[in-house]
Amino acid sequence: MKLGLCIEMAFGKLPFEARLQKAAEAGFEFVEMWLVDDSYKGAPEDLARQAEQCGVAITNTVVAPPDGAIGGGLTNPARRADWLARVRMTFDFNKRARIPATIVCTGNVVPGMSDAEMEASVLEGLKATADLAEKDGITLLLEPLNTTYDHAGYWASSSDRAAELVRRVGSERLRLLYDCYHMQIMEGDLVNHIARNLDVIGHFHSAGVPGRHEHYQGETNYPFLIGEIERMGYQGVFGLEFQPSIGDDESVRRVFAHLSQRG
């Protein structure tokens, strides 16, 4: 299993292109970014060339912000056209930049809608999005988040429920993104949650709990957790999406060394 670095949080004060080089110098072969029309301003083809020159692969983007402020999210059926337009724009960027996957967030609870109505909307939207993903060869990563500290009002806050949605859609192009930081806050019992949903997990995120800082801080034993995930047979990328609490270079170096202790 390889480690990947989210360069929106670590090295986030640098120009985007410089972040690619910084990540490579820190020992990472994989990086990830967020919205395709935000921190990176150039052409997607240029991004692909820059990543290749640095020796890193960009694993994924993000379709829209978690709350659905842009694109409307999946919970709101009245904005389905906005959502699908956003999906098509993101897929076009991904294909041109040679990025194989993108993160899908459900959006927030919609006032006046029941939970069952929102679930039906999310399923309908996921199916429509997965149809497009199958045609374009893009993998979707559905991400549940914590509503306690970072994403108040977000609809999908359970990994088990999100995994069941993935199974119900039944597309090879839809997978679960298991964020160890968010799910430690919402559920705990990480090893058992991961074990029972590994069949649909396509990517991991992680950070220290509490605070979303370095992995060597807090209540989660990440070297142990990563070792357990490897023993389960996961061979994908384990993403580090954390906010450095010290200088970025030192922070990333220490996290990389800490997580390399597993064995």
pLDDT tens for residues 151-197?
Answer: 999 999 999 999 999 999 999 999 999 999 999 999 999 999 999 99
Q: How far separated are the first and last CA of the chain, in Å rounded? A: 12
Band (pLDDT 50/70/90 cuts) for residue 255 is very high
**Is residue 262 predicted with pLDDT exceeding 70?**
no
Asked if 10 contacts 20 with a C-beta cutoff of 8 angstroms, the reply is: no
Residue 40 in 3-state DSSP?
A: coil
pLDDT digits (tens, 9 = 90+) for 48-84: 999 999 999 999 999 999 999 999 999 999 999 999 9
Q: Which fold does the domain 2-259 belong to in CATH?
A: TIM Barrel (3.20.20)
CA 156 to CA 116: how far, in whole Å? Answer: 13
Asked if 5 contacts 30 with a C-beta cutoff of 8 angstroms, the reply is: yes
Cα dist from 53 to 18, 62, 162, 247, 251, whole Å = 12, 23, 37, 25, 24
